[in-house]
Structure 1
Amino acid sequence: MTRKNSSHKPAGLSRRTLLRASAAILGAVAFPLPAIAQTKPFAGVTLRGASFQHRFFTLLQNYIPEFEAQTGMKVDLQLSAFPVYNQQANLELSSGGSAFDFVNVTFILAARWVAAGLLANLDEFTGDPNLTPAEWNPRDFVEGAQVPYRDAKGATYGYSWEGGAMVMGLSRMDVMEKRGLKIPKTFAELEQVCAAMNGADNVNGIVSFQLHHWCLPPYIRGFGGNIFRNPPTDIMPTLNSPEAIQAVEYYANLLRNYAPRGVLTYTEDQARQSHMTGRSNIFIHSSAWITPILLSNDSKVRDTSRVVRMPAGPVHDFPAANSQGLGIPKNAKNKKAAWEFIKWALSPEISMRLVKEHGHSSVCRRSVIESEEYRKLNTVNGQDLGALYLEVLGLPAKGENYMAYRTVKEFPIIGDVLNKAFEQVATGQLAAAAAMNAAQEQAVANLRRAGTAL
């Protein structure tokens, strides 16, 4: 009995000991798992996002593997041509789909998507210290670039990754100086310089491209007109106002008389190439397309170029400014994971790396733009391009939001009408008054057909 009991006791103790030891071993192995889970809280998640093709995303893709390693999630980023993306994203969001976890909030569609409640309120993420550290600082984004992504109550539905500040580049200051010409500061002076430079040393006076509803409105605003009567509250089109007709005549005259042949069908790349090679003297567009005359290694005119404010009109000085933002669809399946991506992609750290490692200057964080590193990289021939970019990008948030015409949800409908009308004038098919009267009738009809109350 004693032998039996003594043999049984050790056996029972050994099982208990084994169980305890096993538990201890398992506990020792399991202990680090919560820490791992905390550092990779999205392990196994596939995050799906979409945007149009842009250099920002091409550069960002170089860093996405780092983000995936940090979070454990996989990022499926779909990029397509600008019109294709806009059509697909608009259909997906409007139908209440959940195919995407994050999207580009396209500038010209932002107001429509925000007003229709198709995007998630990002203040819910930035206001939670467990989701967004204080140093991420949402107020660091340039105010003018954030205007399109807010609703009437001030809630935020997107954060800007790209800023477009309209400036003027002059590639052949050497020829201008020989002819005694100064940098134009008004619309009248702009036309004079274009006329005087056109044909000099085989140089065209000006170059532009086919997105007329971006290039033309600053002239309409400069002459005192607008696209709508009082956007965003009164969106009755005003395309046939005397000021709008005057602006169309003016801009069509510039392109018809002083631009390269075929300019009405030029893409942005064609216009930039003409500018960087010195074949065209003046190009007025977003800074990212103008500054290559000073910053690109392919520029043939770095030593003879200047980048300055767009000339002012006789009534207003309203250079165009826009931005593109990242947002989260209201019906996204992985909202927290999507915010983690947006928070990372638009962080001060990634923004600065894009600037320092790739020379990508059109970021929208004020702290980065005002940094010493940014200033050094973007000061060329004594020209502080960062200060100019920041000045123009912030203008719509100061006083009148003069870009309101472009952020109302009705603008895409009007933009198409404006493009066609301008081409009719520039090609000589119709006089400006006739073309704009017809455009006004068409714009009103299209808006009413879309269900807009005027």
Structure 2
Amino acid sequence: MRNSKMKKYRSDMTQTPDGKAAGMNGTASQEGAARQDDKPITRRRLLRAIPGMASALAFPGLVAAAGGAKRFSGTTLNVSIFSQAFPTLLRRWIPEFEAATGAKVNYDTPAFPIYNQRADLELSTHGSAYDVLNVTFIYSNRWISAGWFTPLDDYLHGPDTPSDWGLDDILAGARAPETGKDGKLYGIPWNVEVVLGGAARFDLVRKAGLDFPQTTDDFVKVLRAVNGKDDTAGFIADNHYGWTFPPYLHAFGGDVFRNAPDDLLPALDTPEAIAAADYFSGLLRHYGPDGAVSYTADQTLQALKTGRVNFSTIGQTYLAQLGTSRSAATAAFGLVPQGPKGRFPGVAVHGLGIPAGSKNKAAAWEFIKWATSKDIVARAVAQGYGSPARRSALESPQFKRRQDINGYDLSRLSIESVELAGKKGYMKYRTVSIYPQVDQQINKAIELIVSGQMSAAQAMKHAQQETVAELRRSGVRI
């Protein structure tokens, strides 16, 4: 985006998500207080000075000794992150960053697909319009491998980054997708989303003398026992099957590609993939509600919250909302079921990085360092943010209070899932640029199997053929 287009985003930088004006929160009082040292310290003066003092402490070394000049005065940063809860909260606090550093921030938060289109075009043409961009999970391999982002190691270990900033506080499993083949880190995670298992009517499971299912065999046993009891269907999954099916695909020993990201030949027609598709589709066909293939993530959540459906494997941010629903007293949670080849929870990560073409890399790093700091993440969590990547936030009392539902600790389950994904590396399938094409074929295949139009073998072989043909038409070498 050219600078002329950037100007229109300045108009909404002074507004909070509810449309109210977001002032400087008293940060200017830091300099004013310095000019009034000869005046008595009153309670009012102290309260006015506190926000400014906090900003100074958050940015050590940014205010030069001579005349109070700030290191990045006169610098304009162009920042773009897709619209989500954390970037929305961040908008409120950007004036504090500007006051502390002297930099001005053009802040852009378009919708997810629009953001990805713009960012991919900007990066692929080696543009310099942006200084900070989100390293989108599904594009991370393409963007990082192509050299379109700046390695952050020198900044992380440089003199401008305090030793207690806490890189190790960010979960290792979250850092893994933001790391290139060279072992360097290219994005600082601000978001991690995890697929967990949840039951809305676990009282029916207890009544049947069973426990939370740990394996795929256990899962079927439990669903057989509770399906239809008290007018409650057994299972539902978000119909974005390119996201909700892979944990089962991996559990049965299958994969999306033969060996992503190096060998991108699709592997949808292997015996393991067919067995997984037959199992997963069977859960929906035999234990799902009417119209199961039409359920979006939001509809799945509503079915769980009202107790119309018992089990789902869905994102932790959705399951956490059961804590404030009519299902709170009967809910239970666990990891996704373990299959014959192990347990593979879905995990997605987003991070902030510096495009290689940025002309303000030092200031860009200050923004990233600030936006992903312990302090800012803690403030976001205090405002209800539910997908932090920092262990300190995940284990904080504020976060755990919301994540402790009916005696189950979703925070602990999330951390365990992220670390599993980091160690095993199976989420690489989702970080390659051609995955969206495969994603659509998986969606179609599961729908065909659940509806009975094709067998699992027929549908997955058809998906394999269609995917290979589409990739070749697109010029992808496989």
With the length of structure 2 as denominator, give the TM-score of the two structures: 0.81
Aligned residue type for 2:150 = A
Q: Which moved more, 1:136-145 or 1:258-267?
A: 258-267
Q: Which residue does 1:179 correspond to in 2?
A: 208
Deviations 1:334-383 (A, max 9, x none): 3222221111111011112222x223242111233344554455334332
- Please name the residue that 2:261 is paired with: 232
Instruction: Work out which of the residue numbers 341, 349, 354 in structure 2 matches 1:328.
Output: 354
Residue correspondence of structure 1 range 142-291 to structure 2 within 5 A: 142-291=171-320
The residue type paired with residue 194 of structure 1 is: L
Structure 1 residue 317 corresponds to structure 2 residue 326: no
Offset at residue 39 of structure 1 (A): 6.2
Q: Give unmatched runs, 5+ long, in structure 2.
A: 1-34, 36-62
| Equivalence map 1:419-438=2 (5 Å) | 419-438=443-462
State the alpha-carbon separation in 2 of the partners of residues 74 and 37 from structure 1. 20
Q: Structure 1, residues 24-58: CA drift from partner, whole Å, max 9, x if none?
A: xxxxx9xxx95477663333433222222211222
Spell out, residue by residue over 1:123-163, the C-alpha distance to the aligned partner (whole angstroms, 9 max, x if none).
Answer: 2321321x322211323211111111111110111011111
Could you tell me how far apart the structure 2 residues matched to 1:159 and 1:280 are?
37
Segment drifting more, 99-108 vs 404-413: 404-413
Q: Kindly state the Cα deviation for residue 219 of structure 1 after the two structures are TM-superposed.
A: 0.8
Cα distance in structure 1, aligned partners of 2:234 and 2:181:
43
Structure 1 residue 441 corresponds to structure 2 residue 454: no
1:339 has 2:368 as partner = no
Shift of 1:222: 0.7
Q: 2:19 is matched with which residue?
A: none
Matched residue, 1:350: 376
Structure 1 CA distance, aligned partners of 2:245 and 2:271? Answer: 15
Using the alignment, how far apart are the partners of 1:321 and 1:39 within structure 2? Answer: 44
Counterparts of 2:68 and 2:434 in 1: how far apart (Å)? 45
In 2: Cα distance, 1:92 partner to 1:110 partner: 15
What's the counterpart of residue 422 of structure 2?
A: 397
Query: Of 134, 137, 140, which residue of structure 2 is paired with 1:110?
Result: 140
The aligned residue for residue 119 of structure 2 is 89
Output aligned runs, 1:353-392, within 5 Å: 353-355=379-381, 357-371=382-396, 374-376=399-401, 378-392=403-417
How far did residue 308 of structure 1 move? 1.0
How far apart, CA to CA, are the structure 1 residues paired with 2:367 and 2:299? 34
2:3 aligns with none
1:50 aligns with 2:80: yes
Aligned residues: 417
Please identify, of 75-84 and 138-147, the stretch whose mean Cα deviation from structure 2 is larger.
75-84
Aligned 8 A contact 2:190 2:389 in 1: yes
TM-score (norm 1): 0.85
- CA drift of 1:318 comes to 1.4
Cα gap change, 1:63/1:160 in structure 2, threshold over 3 Å: closer, same or farther?
Answer: same
Aligned residues of 1:165 and 1:322 also touching (Cα < 8 A): yes
Take 2:111 and 2:172, find their aligned partners in 1: how far apart are those partners?
A: 28
Aligned positions of 1:117-132 closer than 5 A: 117-129=147-159, 131-132=160-161
For residues 377-435 of structure 1, what are the alpha-carbon distances to aligned partners after superposition, in whole Å with 9 as ceiling and x for unaligned? 5334332222211111111232x322222233432332232222222223333222122
Distance 2:178 2:419 in 1: 15
Partner of 2:162: 133
Is the contact made by 2:76 and 2:104 (CA closer than 8 Å) also made in structure 1? Answer: yes
| RMSD of aligned residue pairs (Cα, Å) | 2.3
Residues in 2 aligned to 1:433 and 1:38: alpha-carbon distance in whole angstroms: 70
| AA of the residue aligned to 1:397 | G
Separation of aligned partners in 1, 2:193 and 2:384: 16
Question: Do the aligned residues in 1 keep the contact of 2:330 with 2:406 (CA within 8 Å)?
Answer: no
Secondary structure of 2:426 counterpart? coil
Supply the distance in 2 between the matched residues of 1:277 and 1:197 (Cα, whole angstroms): 16
Moved more, 72-81 or 204-213: 72-81
Distance change in 2, residues 1:417/1:36 (3 Å): farther
In structure 2, the partner of 1:14 is none
Deviation at 1:89, TM superposition (A): 1.8
Cα distance in 2 for partners of 1:101, 1:258 equals: 49
What's 2:326 paired with? 300
* One-letter code aligned to 1:254: L
- Partner SS, residue 318 of structure 1: coil
Which deviates more from structure 2 when the two are superposed, residues 92-101 or residues 300-309? 92-101
Task: Return 5+ residue gaps in structure 1 as ranges.
Answer: 1-28
Corresponding letter in the other structure for 1:108: I
Distance of 2:230 and 2:345 partners within structure 1:
30
Task: Give 1:68's match in structure 2, choosing from 98, 101, 109.
Answer: 98
CA contact (8 A) 1:109 1:412 kept: no
Q: Which amino acid aligns with 1:240?
A: D
Task: Give the 3-state SS of the residue equivalent to 2:276 in structure 1.
Answer: helix
